[in-house]
């Protein structure tokens, strides 16, 4: 009987653990099967089973695994990305909650801390005493000694706060630890230079107030404040104001190792301004980056959920968000990752399958009709021969002819530079070993031509009348950190050869296809607008799979 109870208890644990394994699964790598089997093995080691119980547990294991596989089959890689975003988001929300609770508790304790209250009173009495011409010199020296002693107490107990201001009831700043320009100012009289803090003190609050982060002039950086009333014998005599620096809040959202290259988490205030740094921007985004009001308002209203958005960089991103409320302040916690990175990662895990699907897709596409235009001969064109690549960076054009069994590859950061390679069937992309031009171009681009922040702006265009080398080119590019959405394909199955002219300063491509004998060898022209975006094709393939 005891064994039976023990079995039921562990069966329940098994169900929970298996379901947890399914939810915790990253992308489409199914953990449930192996995890469920492992749990079952441990369960059998710890118990003396009777045959019916063993059969029951086996059936349970089979059911859970089947359920897991069924659930997995119904999800897209974007669904799994949302699950991952949810876990990262929840982690950040919990870290933020712990941090805010910590400083809030410390701020409340400060108003009751007899050392702080006594120090407040010393400064208040001294502030009033120095108004008299009869104030002894020794008093100032003794107060300065007390202030020096208090600095050590602050470092030991309240260093999490950037500064502490001691303010009396008429708004006079009695003392500050940092001794910035707010020292000896009057918070009520100097509202223009001190902003929200001054406005709050002018209302003579008799209860705790939290002021959200804003640009605080005396510190020349964003700051938030806890305003804690100070009472003496049940009469309010002023406030202890604890200044919160933005850097500690920002550090919570800095690490996003679980979200790939493009993933990030950040905090947004109710005005749609970022409260944390973006590492995709060269300059600070704290209270500088204004997010799309339509996107932010909807998220604040919905409070929690998922949305596919065009983010502040112009990238399409999957986002998970949750409203965070602290006292009377409302913030939005956001975790997001670019959709094209999810697409690329999914392709990487199933290269053979999606490589075949991509080739089939392109083979079924009808040839793009000629756009009827041709780039004029460029007076400064650099001609690229077979088994060669050249770089243009002084407004030259790049050109090559006779791309038939070969492949042409353009690697460009428009308006800055471009490479053009004419790759023969002896290259690595044809599974041969004579040359490896794609690898050489990638090394030059990554090591010498761009900053890491510019990587997403590089565009690769593969030009050929065949698809024999395409998958190998794609593989080399994505293994070096580029995305499928950065790869374009100019392909014409009815052509015999192609001639290419590319001008990087105008981002202008002209592909002249020489058609086969069935089309009388005529020539048609294609530009960048006629190319296929590999990332877009893969998204369509994945979407169609989910709709079957």
Q: Over range 457-475, report the average pLDDT.
A: 97
Task: Find out whether 339 and 78 touch, Cβ atoms under 8 Å.
Answer: yes
Between residues 88 and 547, the one the model is more confident about: 88
Homologous superfamily of 253-338: PAS domain (3.30.450.20)
CA dihedral 489, 490, 493, 499 (to 10 degrees): -140
Query: Where are the CATH 3.30.1330.200 domain residues in the chain?
Result: 350-547
pLDDT at 365: 80
pLDDT at 94: 96
Q: Tokens standing for 424?
A: 């023969």
Q: What is the pLDDT confidence band of residue 260, given thresholds at 50, 70 and 90?
A: confident
Please count the CA atoms within 13 angstroms of the CA of 15 that sit on its side-chain side: 10
Q: Tokens standing for 416?
A: 């800055």
Is residue 41 over pLDDT 90?
no
Between residues 373 and 388, the one the model is more confident about: 388
Tens of pLDDT, residue by residue over 220-236, are 999 999 999 999 988 99
pLDDT at 66: 45
What CA–CA distances, in Å, run from 333 to 78, 104, 138, 186, 296?
20, 19, 53, 35, 11
pLDDT at 74: 67
Tens of pLDDT, residue by residue over 291-310, are 998 889 999 999 999 999 99
Is residue 358 over pLDDT 60?
yes
DSSP secondary structure of 341-400: HHHHHHHHHTHHHHHHHHHHHHHHSPPPPP-S--PPPPTTEEE--TTEEEEE-SS-EEEE
Q: What is the pLDDT confidence band of residue 287, given thresholds at 50, 70 and 90?
A: very high
For residue 133, the 8-state DSSP code is T
Mean pLDDT estimate for the chain: 86
Query: Where are the CATH 3.30.450.20 domain residues in the chain?
Result: 113-245, 253-338
Q: Over range 287-291, report the average pLDDT.
A: 94
Look up the pTM and report it: 0.79
Q: Rounded to an integer, what is the distance from CA 44 to the centroid of its chain?
A: 44
Whole-number Å distance between alpha carbons of 314 and 188? 43
CA dihedral 379, 380, 384, 388 (to 10 degrees): 170
Q: To the nearest whole percent, how much of the chain has pLDDT over 90?
A: 69
pLDDT at 258: 79
Q: Tokens standing for 409?
A: 């590859």
pLDDT at 191: 74
pLDDT at 280: 87
pLDDT at 419: 98
Between residues 533 and 369, the one the model is more confident about: 533
Q: What is the pLDDT confidence band of residue 52, given thresholds at 50, 70 and 90?
A: low
Is residue 520 over pLDDT 70?
no
Q: What angle do CA 470, 474, 475 make, to 5 degrees?
A: 115
Whole-number Å distance between alpha carbons of 293 and 300? 10
- Tell the residue number behind the tokens 């294609």, with chain if given: 526
pLDDT at 279: 82
- Looking at the DSSP bridge assignments, the partners of residue 236 are 231
pLDDT at 259: 87
DSSP secondary structure of 203-228: T--SS-EEEEEEEEGGGTEEEEEEEE
Looking at CATH, the fold of the domain delimited by 113-245 is given as Beta-Lactamase (3.30.450)
Helix (H) or strand (E) holding 260: none
Q: Over range 395-409, report the average pLDDT.
A: 96
Domain 350-547, classified CATH 3.30.1330.200, yes or no: yes
Whole-number Å distance between alpha carbons of 250 and 266? 8
pLDDT at 135: 73
Whole-number Å distance between alpha carbons of 486 and 343? 12
Q: Over range 170-192, report the average pLDDT.
A: 89
Q: What is the pLDDT confidence band of residue 516, given thresholds at 50, 70 and 90?
A: confident
Task: Find out whether 334 and 296 touch, Cβ atoms under 8 Å.
Answer: no
Tens of pLDDT, residue by residue over 411-421, are 999 999 999 99
pLDDT at 59: 56
Q: Which residue in 343, 342, 345 sits closest to 85, CA to CA?
A: 342
Between residues 515 and 326, the one the model is more confident about: 326
- Tell the residue number behind the tokens 């004579």, with chain if given: 434
Please count the CA atoms within 13 angstroms of the CA of 180 that sit on its side-chain side: 14
Q: Which of 35-44, 193-202, 448-457, 498-507 has the weakest average pLDDT?
A: 35-44
Tens of pLDDT, residue by residue over 307-353, are 999 999 989 999 999 999 999 999 999 999 999 999 999 999 999 99
pLDDT at 375: 53
Q: Over range 386-390, report the average pLDDT.
A: 97
E-assigned strand segments in 59-121: none
């Amino acid at each position: 009987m005891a064994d039976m109870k023990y079995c039921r208890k562990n069966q329940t644990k098994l169900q929970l653990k298996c379901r947890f394994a399914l939810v915790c699964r990253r992308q489409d790598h199914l953990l449930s099967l192996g995890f469920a089997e492992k749990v079952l093995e441990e369960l059998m080691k710890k118990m003396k089973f009777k045959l019916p119980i063993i059969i029951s547990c086996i059936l349970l294991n089979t059911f859970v695994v089947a359920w897991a596989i069924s659930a997995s089959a119904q999800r897209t890689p974007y669904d799994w990305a949302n699950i991952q975003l949810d876990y990262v988001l929840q982690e950040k929300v919990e870290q933020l909650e712990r941090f805010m609770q910590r400083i809030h508790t410390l701020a409340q304790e400060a108003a009751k801390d007899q050392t702080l209250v006594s120090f407040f009173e010393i400064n208040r009495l001294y502030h009033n005493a120095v108004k008299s011409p009869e104030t002894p010199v020794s008093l100032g020296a003794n107060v300065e000694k007390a202030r020096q002693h208090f600095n050590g107490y602050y470092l030991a107990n309240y260093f999490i706060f950037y500064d502490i201001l001691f303010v009396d009831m008429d708004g006079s700043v009695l003392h500050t630890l940092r001794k910035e320009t707010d020292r000896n100012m009057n918070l009520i009289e100097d509202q223009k230079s001190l902003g929200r803090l001054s406005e709050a003190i002018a209302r003579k609050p008799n209860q705790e107030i939290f002021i959200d982060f804003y640009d605080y002039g005396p510190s020349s950086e964003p700051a938030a404040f806890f305003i804690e009333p100070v009472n003496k014998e049940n009469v309010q005599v002023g406030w202890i104001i604890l200044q919160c620096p933005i850097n500690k809040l920002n550090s919570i959202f800095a690490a996003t190792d679980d979200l790939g290259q493009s993933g990030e988490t950040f905090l947004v205030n109710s005005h749609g301004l970022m409260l944390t740094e973006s590492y995709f921007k060269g300059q600070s985004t704290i209270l500088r980056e204004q997010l799309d009001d339509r996107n932010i308002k909807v998220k604040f209203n919905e409070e929690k959920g998922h949305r596919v958005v065009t983010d502040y960089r112009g990238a399409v991103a999957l986002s998970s968000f949750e409203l965070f409320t602290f006292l009377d302040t409302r913030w939005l916690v956001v975790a997001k990752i670019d959709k094209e990175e999810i697409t690329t990662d999914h392709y990487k895990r199933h290269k053979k399958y999606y490589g075949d699907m991509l080739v089939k897709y392109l083979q079924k596409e009808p040839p793009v009709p000629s756009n009827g235009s041709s780039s004029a001969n460029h007076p400064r064109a650099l001609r690229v021969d077979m088994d060669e690549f050249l770089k243009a960076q002084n407004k030259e054009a790049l050109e090559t002819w006779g791309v038939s069994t070969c492949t042409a590859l353009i690697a460009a950061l428009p308006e800055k530079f471009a490479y053009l390679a004419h790759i023969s069937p002896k290259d690595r992309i044809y599974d041969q070993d004579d040359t490896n031009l794609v690898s050489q171009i990638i090394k030059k681009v990554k090591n010498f031509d761009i900053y890491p922040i510019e990587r997403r702006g590089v565009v690769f265009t593969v030009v050929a009348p065949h698809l024999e080398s395409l998958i190998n080119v794609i593989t080399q590019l994505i293994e070096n950190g580029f995305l499928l959405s950065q790869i374009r394909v100019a392909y014409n199955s009815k052509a015999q050869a192609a001639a290419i002219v590319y001008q990087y300063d105008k981002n202008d491509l002209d592909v002249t296809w020489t058609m086969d004998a069935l089309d009388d060898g005529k020539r048609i022209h294609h530009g960048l607008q006629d190319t296929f975006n590999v990332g877009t094709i893969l998204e369509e393939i994945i979407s169609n799979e989910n709709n079957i």
